[in-house]
Amino acid sequence: MDMKEALSGGMPRPGETPAACLERVASVSERKTTPCGEGDLVWHVWGAESGADEEKKTPVILMHGNFGSWPHWIRNIPAFAEKYALYVPDLPGFGDSAPPPKPYSMNGIVEAVINGFDALTSPETRLHIAGFSYGSTVSGFTARALGERVLSLCLCGGSRIAGMQDLPRDFRNWRKAESDEERLAAHRHNLGEAMFSGHGAVDDLAVAIQDWIAPRGRIKPREFLRPSDLVPALKEVVAPKLTIWGTRDPYYPFLKSKWQEAIVDANVGLALQEVEGAGHWAIYEYHEEMNKRLLAWFAANDPK
């Protein structure tokens, strides 16, 4: 099965189990590894191999959220891979990737990502970068470090853009579950609390993704990353910058209240778009709209 065929038909396809869906998408990626700390940074790559008559595709790095992994982007990969070469890492300390070098720092994480990408492509390669949630923070620091090599930067639900807000939520401890059913129910509940526009929007694939990725998160960004660190980094990013937010993202009201002071008055140069009704994981819940907007953003900033 070729990539286009394997990525067609929906995520998941009608009658397809979540596990089979994840396996289908992963099966047509190239699994690459590059050094990270005492182990490997694991990348999944779609669309990088071009035929003899095809023009080489522009690369896009997609960075996942906290306690996440590449499947955070599962509903975006089919649309993006048709035109772009997708490099989707499990960020250091998450998914199948080793933790970053100690002591943990954003500089160590960014260095592993950039060195890995350069090893897979070349140190001159230009690229688009998009991040979701915590991945937006890594994306911002990565874009600053790469300078003029970055064609565009998009932060999807970047909760540290204007600092962080602790929100009271009714989370359930999936680690203490006494059965598979109880654990999956806890994941479903927590996704409805924090990641979706409401509990009714959570589907079985999202629960399966959360069940797979959550136990693989082995570092806590709060322990080495201050909420105030991102804005100064974004000011130094020379590429065009965009952030997209769902209006039902629980972090969005805080961002809106700080936008004028933290972003506009500080001359960060960051554009803002809203997706009406979407929650925090808008790239999944409202993937059709997010795919359209991100593809338009990439196209507007592609090499001429």
pLDDT band for 54, please (50, 70, 90 cuts): low
- Under 8 Å CB-to-CB from 124, ≥6 apart: which residues? 149
Per the model's pLDDT, the better-predicted residue between 53 and 49 turns out to be: 49
**Window from 160-174, 187-201, 247-261 with minimum mean pLDDT:** 160-174
Strands 30-36 and 39-46: antiparallel
Give yes or no for residue 53 having a pLDDT over 70: no
DSSP 69: -
pLDDT band for 51, please (50, 70, 90 cuts): low
pLDDT confidence of residue 192: 97
CB 77 within 8 A of CB 143: no
pLDDT > 90 in the chain, percent: 88
pLDDT confidence of residue 50: 58
pLDDT confidence of residue 52: 45
Give yes or no for residue 17 having a pLDDT over 60: yes
CA-based nearest residue to 216, from 21, 19, 42, 20: 42
pLDDT band for 225, please (50, 70, 90 cuts): confident
pLDDT confidence of residue 16: 98
CB 96 within 8 A of CB 42: yes
Per the model's pLDDT, the better-predicted residue between 73 and 56 turns out to be: 73
Determine whether 181 is exposed, middle or buried from the number of CB atoms within 10 Å of its CB (0-12, 13-18, 19+).
exposed
pLDDT digit string, tens, across residues 210-224 = 999 999 999 999 899
